[in-house]
Amino acid sequence: MNKHLIYLKVIIIFSIFFSSENIYAQLEFCQGNSGDQIFVENFGTGLSDSPLPAGTTTYTYANGGEPLDGRYTVSSNTNYFDWFSVQDHTPDDTNGRMLVVNSAAAAGEFYRTTINGLCENTSYEFSSWILNLTPAAGFCGAGAIPVNVKFEIWDNTDTNLLASGDTGNIGSTFTPNWQQFALVFQTITSQTSVILKMINNGAGGCGNDLAIDDITFKSCGDFIEVLNTDSVDSVALCSSSTPYDTILTATPDNVVFSSHFYQWQESFDTVSWSDLPGETNENLAVSGVTTTIYYRAKVAEFASNLNNNDCNTFSNVFEIIITQAPTQPAIECWEIATINDVTCDWEITGTQPTQPSGLECWEITSFNTTTCSWDITGTQPSQPTIECWETATFNTATCLWEVTGTQPTQPSGLECWEITSFNATTCSWGITGIQPSQPTIECWETATFNTATCLWEVTGTQPAQPTGLECWETTSFNTTTCSWDITGTQPSQPTLECYETTTFNNTTCIWDVTGTQPLEPTGLECWESTTFNDIACTWEISGTEPVVANPPPPLEDCDPDSDGFGVFDLGSMDNEITGGDPSLTVSYHETMADA
């Protein structure tokens, strides 16, 4: 297809829908064993395009241009339109060509050829590889018309259709995908040639663009398996196991042939094969084989077809591979040489006695081929003389004595008065020396040892004697508390009269008393007296004018017992004396002096 036929693409989509009822038999491959290729078309090689021989196709050769609808080319590339750009299918060819076709709107023959020299009543396989060139992600998109190819086999008159089948729709893919399709048929009596056709079974338009390659035609027979009595299809032997004898059996799978005729063949290179006279049944007795040889069975359905390679089929090749045993190799005293009949190699077994391990480094080994054992020689080096702090260890890596250890570090941080000397007996440093005695110091002093001068340094000052003392205070230094003691007491303040004031005189260090008693009152009554009141600090006047007492009457008492004593109640006279004045108090005395 080309990108200019957009209108036609729509019409073709509908034509596919309405033509889907025209269904043909599906293709199939030979179910047995395909024979040698009778015909193969791989379209050759080359960078230039070329046409097909006349009568091979009904399509028009593009002649170097783009293969538009209804055109074809035979080319080594497919780099047209938005098609996949691929190489041909034929393996291992360079610039291999393929048939590239842009299908027409009407059905047409992609390819036709005539095959001659066929055998009667023989099955054949007609096959080809096909690739849909239209990418699923291309211009045509999801509506791309799929490829559909019909395979047909006609008689040589091109009037009788012998077999046909179609590929079915081969849809677009996202990556190119070569697919193989095949058609199987059987010739009839007297039929020795046929016409092969590949026909467009799809529609033209956007899509249905394809590449065709490796069209082949070959016989189709049973799969013939050749096995020996051990049920294997090949043997590999060493000449040490020859001569070799076995019986081969060819077993068909009966998928295609209804009867079987055999001819056994042998070959020394798998290229040139020779019939074995008289070996024409399914079994072959093989004996006395001493060199490599190959066997196969040629099988046909009819005896008349057995010698025509276009009409028969071959079994698998039974290989008898004989390998010549090599000369026995030279061996060591501990080895044994044995030929391995499977690998056809000499197998040397035996292991050299293990070289002694765990040797001392000063020891060396040498293999004694006479005794077939290891000899050990060598002596350890003598241990060196060492200091008390050293340790001698034998290093098996260097094979030397290693002296390790360090003299104990001379003590550091010594006091200035100390000295050190190493004691080889105890293997340690001895420290001697005594610090100078600390001097006697005052309580306010501190003794510090100066490690630079190695002397005691006395520092400190006596606390200053207190100043600003009171006149009555004295100081003395207390060595116990290491401080000045202040003693002395201020003189006691004198007892003052209420009118006096005291002031301490720091000069004389005594109390000064000042102040005068108020003057005593004068002009008092005779009965008044003054008393100084120390609380109020004033004179108080007291006294009452005297009351005149009544003279008491004389008291008389009789002394009946004439002892000179009598009892008087003086108080009985108080009221007469005071005249009843309660403010008066009467006291009695013997004499005035007593009063």
Kindly report, residue by residue over 538-581, the tens digit of the pLDDT: 998 998 877 666 777 777 767 778 787 777 777 777 777 887 77
- For residue 16, pLDDT beyond 70: no
Which residues of the chain are in CATH 2.60.40.10 domains? Answer: 224-323
Choose among 327, 343, 341: nearest CA to 242: 341
Q: What is the mean pLDDT of the chain?
A: 87
Q: Which homologous superfamily is 6-221 in? A: Galactose-binding domain-like (2.60.120.260)
Specify the range with the lowest mean pLDDT, choosing from 151-155, 185-189, 229-233, 318-322. Answer: 185-189
Q: How far apart are CA 61 and CA 59, in angstroms?
A: 7
- For tokens 């593009």, the residue is 62
Q: How far apart are CA 404 and CA 487, in angstroms?
A: 76
Q: How far apart are CA 204 and CA 70, in angstroms?
A: 8
The pLDDT tens digits for 357-380 are 888 889 899 999 989 999 999 898
The pLDDT tens digits for 285-339 are 999 999 999 999 999 888 888 888 777 888 899 999 998 989 989 998 998 999 8
What is the sign of the dihedral through the CA atoms of 451, 456, 460 and 461?
negative
- pLDDT for the residue numbered 39: 93
CA dihedral 287, 232, 270, 273 (to 10 degrees): 50
The pLDDT tens digits for 498-542 are 988 999 898 899 999 998 989 889 999 898 899 989 898 999 899
The pLDDT tens digits for 51-75 are 999 999 999 999 999 999 999 999 9
- pLDDT for the residue numbered 271: 92
The pLDDT tens digits for 71-115 are 999 999 999 999 999 999 999 999 999 999 999 888 899 999 999
- What lies within 8 Å, CB to CB, of 108 at 6+ separation is 57, 58, 59, 70, 199, 200
- pLDDT for the residue numbered 214: 97
- pLDDT for the residue numbered 595: 66
Specify the range with the lowest mean pLDDT, choosing from 13-17, 61-65, 208-212. Answer: 13-17
Mean pLDDT confidence for 197-220? 92
Q: How far apart are CA 95 and CA 116, in angstroms?
A: 30
- pLDDT for the residue numbered 26: 53
Choose among 251, 1, 230, 23: nearest CA to 105: 1
* Separate counts of helices (H) and strands (E) for the chain: 2, 36
Tokens of 81: 């339109």
Which residues of the chain are in CATH 2.60.120.260 domains? Answer: 6-221
Q: How far apart are CA 362 and CA 399, in angstroms?
A: 6
pLDDT category at 41 given cuts 50, 70, 90 is very high
Mean pLDDT confidence for 414-418? 87
- 4 vs 209, higher pLDDT: 209
- For residue 18, pLDDT beyond 60: no
Domain 224-323's class?
Answer: mainly beta
